[in-house]
Structure 1
Amino acid sequence: MERMSGRDITEGSIWKNLLLYFFPIWFGSIFQQMYTTVDAVVVGRFIGKEALAALGGTSSLLVDLSVGFFIGASAGAGVVISHCYGARDNGRLKYAVYASMKLSLVCGAVLTVAGILATPTALRWMNTPADVIDGAMLYLRVYFCGVIPSLLYNMGSSVLRAIGDAKRPLYFLIFTTVVNVGLDVLFVAVFKMGIFGAALATILAQASSAVLVLKTLLSTKESYRLVLSGCRVYPEVFRQIIRLGLPSGFQYMLYTVSNLVVQAKVNLLGTDVAAAWAAISKLDGVFWLTMTAFGTAMTTFTGQNYGAGKMDRVRGGMHAGIGISIGLTAGICLPLLIFSRQLLGIFSTDEVVLALGLQYTFFLVPTYFTYTGTELLGGVIKGAGNSFVPMLITGVSAFAIRSLWAMFAPMIWPGMNTIMLSYPISWSVSTVLFIIYYNFGSWMKTDGKSRRN
């Protein structure tokens, strides 16, 4: 039998396993966030607020909409891989890795063409200000030219995390973030290449991360090695990757579509408001990546233990996760509120932009607690192999409620506060629906024996 490597989280302390697995994912997510954050800082400082608005809000959301669908789908593939790993099924594990990486390559090619062609229409649909649209279009088209390495890295990282290895994706991101920072300063501040330089720095850094993760998967002698030919085909494994991946991808996309609706309304309020919203989006990105990282940890923890048939540990992980997620939320909210002006000043020195950013921060950040249960319970449910219901709940809360509120409520109560209120309302609905389904739904069907995909 081939060796099973990675981190086995089906034994030992639940709290310790969750935290030891979460923190490398979290640090990695922070460094990944720095890709676009560094771009925003450099262009905001060296080019101006128009460039900040182009990269910060509008472009980031369109990238999230396109690439985010695949990131969600790769999380679904990770569930299948974690089940195979937990069940010690090496043959299906090897094929799941091969099928997942091949899928990422095909999707990347399609997304490159679609992204380049659709960018102008998408920017016009979002009511992008006239002084912002050219810069946003340039950034996005350059970015989509390098989207294949981004998808390969994200899928490869999902494979490593699914078998419990969250450290190497972190090391890769630390290296590539340093590359991105250096290239950003070189291209924008030294060579004066503007927005094109910021985009070029990002895709070159992503390419380096893809090379590192592919080298790891191809060269390892462990059970999760990427075999390009000759491995046994398991059609049911591929079907399960699609069955779990598509709803996860659509779930991610539904969040982003609702955010695009909000961004379109924000853009109507002018460049100052759009720039301030872009800055706060980068700050509260720390909260989103933290909750997403914890949701990933819960999904993998649940997936491995579900694959091993250890339902008591699945329930124990959820109970431990409540305390951890509340603590993480409090630990993020307080610094954001206390140091909000200093943090916003990283992105812009414009006094109007700073004043608006402070107003938005103090309105939105205290409401983060309404979202805490969504990632926790959603991660557990997806880890047990049910990604359809989380997608459905997201469709109701984010896509329907948030989008409808953002579109119609400002007609009655005009202003940015009304637009922002769409977030805590949709978060509250989402958390309540997840609590109801977790307690009364049939998300965990098992006879207590090890599952095999």
Structure 2
Amino acid sequence: MTEELKKKVWAFSLPMISELFVQQLYSIIDIAIIGRYLGAKELGAVGNAANIIMLFLVASGGFEMAVDVMVSRLLGAGKNKEKVAMARDTLFLSAISGLVLVVIAWISLPALYKAVSLPENMVGDALLYGRVYLFALPIIYIYDVGRAILISNERAKISFYLLATSSILNLLLNLLFILVLQLGVLGSALGTVLAQGITMLVTLYLLAKMDRQEEEPVSPKPDLSWTKIKSILHIALPTIFQQFSITFGATLVQAWVNPFGQEAILGYVAIVKVMNLARIVLVGFAQTLTLMTAQLLAAKTYSAVKAVYRYCSNVSLIYWLVSSALSVIFCQLLAGMFFDPGQNQAAYSFFRVYLYAFVGIQLFSIFKFLNEGLLRSMVLMKEYLYYNLGELALKLAATWLLLTPLQTNAFWGAELGARIICVLGSTILVIKEIQALEAIKKAG
């Protein structure tokens, strides 16, 4: 592994990890403030509402992917006028999709809460939070796709500043509405929506300013012809399907947790936030691996591909060792970010056991994410999708089968088992693919 490659790994990974970290702060801020200042019931309500809300946010990720791919291609081809038009049309289509989903979400929300077995004493707060948040879907879609347009136009730093500003606003507005104005769960939803609304307006201003700098002006009127819509959806729909499947799986697991009562709900909501935060570094290195090895594979420098994989693995293992030790030592402090471990001892017990199991899950996650990163760089998207959805299906099936004999231990047990099996499968596939490429190079 050369020093140049090491520098590239860090140059790619640090901005990605920083952005992913700031993104995670959004949901953690909401949950932490609600849990500490409003109470256990409100935390459980908002935790469940957040899972349902994510079902209606997944389309945004698809439109972001469409912008990333199509605008980047047009930019690389020097087709600036078509690039601006494509960004404009995707932005309009995402806003329309957000409006349609608002109606669907408002109508279906009570039935969805009933379907996930949300306790009756949490339904009122969950409905209030969910409806206020979901009312802002068009704002969120425009904001997310707008940032993706900035990134695809090589303005990633501006996008990061917008994200950081939005997170800071979210924190300040949540504290204002909950602690000062005493608006409760409503205040948390309003704070998040207003933070995204303000940064959406700034994003639109920056996009308009960027468009004015183009040599050829483009009409602001969108071209939403069926041909244009199909070209956008061709890229967006696979991503939407994948993200919806994963989000639906998380919602289903939450539905199985809810019958165990408020304490289990508290512990589960908290541990999910901690796990999502802990995975950020691993995901950042996996995305770095995808970007770097795509270039190295094109150049047929397979020894460099292996070197980058090993380096990312070693750094990830060091991170896993340090973060695991710290999380076990400060387990009570981590739980205390979301609820009072002394008052909610059963919730803390659930949290602690899952956290200890997560040490093993996280170890295998290193190779899950890195293997998936290599599959993406090899453009083996079908295999990548199969392993993702296959692990999800295996995890859900195992959870359902283990619920009766293992009770709450079924959740971490199924996740660990599914992760091990799929890592073994993806590792075998990656090794075979690299060996096949090396054989072709040697023969040619």
- Answer yes or no: same fold by TM over 0.5: yes
The answer to whether 1:266 aligns with 2:257 is yes
Amino acid at match of 1:70: S
Aligned residue for 1:61, secondary structure, equals helix
2:168 aligns to what?
Answer: 178
* Residue 428 of structure 1 pairs with residue 420 of structure 2: yes
Alpha-carbon distance in structure 1 between the residues aligned to 2:373 and 2:74: 18
Q: What displacement does 1:281 show? A: 1.4
For structure 2, the residue ranges without an aligned partner over 5 or more in a row are 438-444
Offset of residue 346 of structure 1: 1.5
Shift in Å at residue 84 of structure 1?
A: 4.5
**Partner in structure 2 of residue 448 of structure 1:** none
Q: May I ask how many residue pairs the two structures share in their alignment?
A: 428
Q: Determine the C-alpha separation between the residues in 1 that align with 2:206 and 2:271.
A: 36
Please give the per-residue CA displacement for 1:210-264, whole angstroms capped at 9, x wherever unaligned: 2233222221267799955489999988656433322222112221222122111
Deviations 1:88-109 (A, max 9, x none): 5545544443343233212211
Matches within 5 A, 1:103-122: 103-122=93-112
Kept in 1, the 8 Å contact 2:92–2:222? The answer is no
Q: Note if 1:340 corresponds to 2:331.
A: yes
Equivalent residue for 1:29? Answer: 20
Q: Which has the larger radius of gyration?
A: 2
Between the aligned partners of 1:68 and 1:81, the Cα distance in structure 2 is: 20
Partner of 2:91: 101
Q: Deviations over 1:326-377 (max 9, x none)?
A: 4444454333222221121121113413333222211223321212233334
- Please state if 1:211 is matched with 2:193: no
- 1:246 is aligned, of 237, 244, 249, to 237
Identify which of 113, 116, 132 aligns with 2:122.
132
Once the two structures are TM-superposed, the CA of residue 71 in structure 1 deviates from its matched residue by: 1.6
Greater alpha carbon shift after TM alignment, 174-183 vs 360-369: 360-369
Shift, 1:141, TM fit: 0.8
Please report how far the alpha carbon of residue 277 of structure 1 lies from its aligned counterpart in structure 2 after TM superposition. Answer: 1.0
- Give the alignment of 1:326-337 within 5 angstroms: 326-337=317-328
Shift of the 388–161 alpha-carbon distance from structure 1 to 2, 3 Å rule, reads farther
Paired-residue identity, %: 20
Three-state SS of the structure 1 residue aligned to 2:250 is helix
- In structure 1, what is the equivalent of residue 191 of structure 2? 201
In structure 2, the CA distance between the partners of 1:324 and 1:88, relative to structure 1 (3 Å rule), is farther
Q: 1:416 maps to what in 2?
A: 408
Aligned partner letter, 1:195: V
> Structure 2: how far apart are the matches of 1:331 and 1:79?
36
Contact 1:25 1:166 in 2 (8 A): no
Q: Tell me the residue number matched to 2:366.
A: 372
Return the letter of the residue paired with 1:362. Y
CA distance in 1, matches of 2:409, 2:217: 49
> Are residues 208 and 230 of structure 1, via their aligned partners in 2, closer, same or farther at CA, if it must alter by over 3 Å?
closer
Distance between the aligned counterparts of 1:331 and 1:210, measured in 2? 37
Partner of 2:131: 141
Q: Which string of whole-angstrom CA distances, capped at 9 and with x for unpartnered residues, describes residues 410-433 of structure 1?
A: 13x232112221212222333334
Q: Is the 8 A contact 2:281 2:316 kept in 1?
A: no
Pairing 1:169–2:162 present: no
Q: SS where residue 421 of structure 1 aligns?
A: helix
Q: Residues 321 and 152 of structure 1: is their aligned pair in 2 closer, same or farther, counting only changes over 3 Å?
A: farther
Q: Is residue 54–residue 133 contact of structure 1 (8 Å, CA) maintained in 2?
A: yes
SS at 1:268 equivalent: helix
Larger deviation: 287-296 or 388-397? 287-296
What's the counterpart of residue 255 of structure 1?
A: 246
Gap change, CA 1:30 and 1:363, over 3 Å in 2: same
> How far apart are 1:114 and its partner, in Å?
1.6
SS at match of 2:161: helix
Report the alpha carbon displacement of residue 50 of structure 1 after superposing the two structures with TM. 0.6
Q: Relative to total residues, which structure has the larger helix share, 1 or 2? A: 2
Q: Which residue of 1 aligns with 2:440?
A: none
1:286 — aligned with what?
277
Give the corresponding residue for 2:144: 154
Change in 2 beyond 3 A, CA 1:243/1:25: same
SS in 2 for 1:220: helix
Given that 2:395 and 2:415 are in contact with CA atoms closer than 8 Å, whether structure 1 keeps it comes out as yes
TM-score (norm 2): 0.84
Instruction: Tell me, in whole angstroms, the C-alpha distance in 2 between the residues paired with 1:238 and 1:318.
Output: 38
Name which of 33, 50, 58 aligns with 1:60.
Answer: 50
Shift in alpha-carbon separation, 1:151–1:78, aligned structure 2, 3 A: same
In structure 2, relative to structure 1, the CA distance for the partners of 1:370 and 1:194 (3 Å cut) is same
* Range that drifts further, 44-53 or 33-42: 33-42
Contact 2:35 2:42 in 1 (8 A): yes
Quote how far apart the aligned CAs of 1:383 are: 5.3
Which residue is 1:16 aligned to?
A: 7
Secondary structure (helix, strand or coil) at the match of 2:260 reads coil
Amino acid in the other structure paired with 1:432: L
> For 1:280-359, what aligned pairs fall within 5 Å after superposition?
280-299=271-290, 305=295, 310=299, 312=301, 315=305, 318=309, 320-349=311-340, 350-352=343-345, 353-359=347-353
State the distance in 1 between where 2:166 and 2:280 align: 18
Contact 1:35 1:180 (C-alpha < 8 Å) held by counterparts: yes
Over the aligned positions, Cα root-mean-square deviation in angstroms equals 3.5
Instruction: State the SS of the aligned residue for 2:247.
Output: helix
Following superposition of structure 1 onto structure 2, how do residues 399-410 of structure 1 map, counting pairs within 5 Å? 400-410=393-403
- Residue in 2 aligned with 1:50? 41
For 1:372-391, list aligned pairs within 5 A. Answer: 372-382=366-376, 387-391=381-385
1:290 Cα deviation from its structure 2 partner: 3.6
8 Å contact from structure 1 (residues 217, 224) kept in 2? no
CA distance in 2, matches of 1:273, 1:327: 32
Using the alignment, how far apart are the partners of 2:156 and 2:333 within structure 1?
A: 32
Deviation at 1:68, TM superposition (A): 2.8
1:410 aligned partner, one-letter code: L
